[in-house]
A and B are shown apart, each in its own frame.
Chain A
Amino acid sequence: MDRYFKLIIILFFTFFLSFNLTSNTSLASKTENASSIVQKLIEKIQNIQETKYTEEEKRTEFLKVIETFFDMNIVAKVSTGPYWRTATSNEKKRYTELITELIADVTASQLGDISNVEFQLHSSFQKGDKMVIVSGELLVPNQSKSKINVNWRFSTPDSDVPKIIDVEFENISMLVAQKEESVAIIRKNGGVFSALITAIEEKLRK
């Protein structure tokens, strides 16, 4: 009886230790994975900056980067707040396409003409169950502010590759700002979701 009891205790501790080790390894791998994705993203941006593209080609390349590294479904959903539920499926699809284009356009205008952008990793940590934040400094030579604090927020679902869902520059979340803008536009137009789509289309045409 005593032997059985000891065996159960040993089995319990073995199980407990292996579970803890697995979950810690999984946490570490999630944060490491997210950090390496940021480095890959920076390399992609450097490649675009170093290659002689036309403005239109540059824009297309940045669009590919956004589609690859960002979870645009989450970005679209979160950036419209409560109005996402009121949109039709066609409106949701169109808005997701447009917001992707808008982010690509803004990124191309901000980073397209700069060279030698680098990222200095400071830390990478878990935030909640399914998010990781990769924090560091973006080094942008020949700009008025050559060091910009950046936090990349990743969604890290167990079943899929981690993707970026938000970027914070100098404590300012682009997603929070986008959400406030989108909600303000929809509200100003009496809660009509399509007004936001029209506003982004007009912005992209300019």
Chain B
Amino acid sequence: MILNRFFLTATFFLAFLSTSCSSVDEELISNRKDPFEDTNRKIFVFNDNLDTVVLEPIAAGYNKVIPSYAKTAINNHVYWVGLPNNTINSALQRKWENATISSLHFTVNALTLGFVNLLIEDEPPHQQDFGQTLAFYGVSEGPYVVVPVTGGKTSRHAFSEVINFVINPYSAFTENKTIDQAISFQPVLTTISWRATNFELVNDLKYNSLDAYVRARSAYYQNRFKKIQSYNNNNNDNNNAPSEADSLFDNLDTEG
């Protein structure tokens, strides 16, 4: 069952990559990391319309109707579902302490299926995904691709999401029909919860930017860069990790 799901998703992903990658004229590329900008923009428009028609109204309703304690519970559950993944990736990156904390949080909070965070007083583990593991082993990030529905990311990160999808605590119970349905609902729940939590930030990007595609790509790369840098420097304090903004001011004459 798990293997079936893996191959289905991987086939879909590879088929998407092979059909979507028509490159554009070098002169018109706004960023060297994005050689398939032309195709990516088309998928971005599709995702944007999908967001406007489906996700944005649902997220707005979700924020209005669901009480804040229930939203916290859902966010906790979504976070809990990602912990096995976090444990495996921390271990693969030899971050043993983080792997231990992550598995401890998963085991303890399993009592409530993650809806209640029983370890709220403790420092949460740092999130590590398979893309960060691949970065740790020196796999290059590859070109930027916009995937239908899930959005823009590096191809390394997009591939890692296939693996992340397979590693799910519910997978152990796939014989049970109810739990199988719960698995199918997981990505939907995660997406709605994420969109609702970042409602104003995403709307700002959509409606206030000169070029929403470029701003979304920039936001993605900055966030990802900081996550991977903070790991590479073994620096858990994100503020002290180098950011892309630092390089902007390298030769800046602030007096002039």
Contact = CB atoms under 8 A, between A and B. Distances in A.
B192 to A, nearest CB: 12
Contact of B211 (A105, A148, A184): A184
A153 B244 CA distance: 13
B243 A78 contact: no
B238 interface: yes
A157 B254 CA distance: 6
Contact of A106 (B31, B204, B244, B249): B204
Interface stretch (B104-112, B114-122, B164-172, B193-201): B193-201
Nearest to A129: B254
Contacts of B219: 172, 177
Given A78-B248, A143-B200, A187-B30, A135 B239 contact: yes
Contacts of B255: 157-160
A144 B196 contact: yes
A181 B223 contact: no
Interface in B7-46: 27-28, 30-31
A171 B226 contact: yes
Contacts of A183: 30
Contact of B245 (A135, A173, A185): A173
Interface string A157-188: 11110000110111111011101111111011
B215 A177 contact: yes
Interface string A101-118: 000011001100000000
B157 interface: no
A74 interface: yes
Given A78-B252, A128-B249, A184-B31, A170 B211 contact: no
A85 interface: no
Nearest to A71: B254
Contacts of A148: 201
B209 interface: yes
B223 A171 contact: yes
B204 A166 contact: no
B77 interface: no
B222 interface: yes
A156 B222 CA distance: 24
B210 interface: yes
Contacts of A160: 255
Q: How large is the interface on B (under 10, 10 to 19, 20 to 34, 35 or more residues)?
A: 35 or more
A155 interface: yes
Contacts of A143: 199-200
Nearest to A122: B239
Contacts of A128: 249
Contacts of B222: 171-173, 176-177
B201 A188 contact: no
Interface in A108-145: 109-110, 122-123, 125, 127-128, 130-131, 133, 135, 143-145
Interface in B223-256: 223, 226-227, 238-240, 243-246, 248-249, 252, 254-255
Interface of A: 71, 74, 78, 105-106, 109-110, 122-123, 125, 127-128, 130-131, 133, 135, 143-145, 148-149, 151, 153, 155-160, 165-166, 168-173, 175-177, 179-185, 187-188, 199-200, 203
18 contacts: A106-B204, A106-B208, A125-B240, A127-B246, A145-B198, A145-B200, A153-B245, A155-B252, A168-B245, A170-B223, A171-B226, A175-B248, A176-B222, A180-B30, A180-B214, A181-B210, A184-B31, A185-B210
Interface of B: 27-28, 30-31, 63, 196-201, 204, 208-211, 214-215, 217-219, 222-223, 226-227, 238-240, 243-246, 248-249, 252, 254-255
Given A144-B198, A173-B243, A182-B210, 16 more contacts: A78-B248, A127-B246, A128-B249, A149-B238, A157-B255, A172-B223, A173-B245, A176-B222, A176-B245, A177-B209, A177-B214, A180-B30, A180-B217, A187-B27, A188-B30, A200-B210
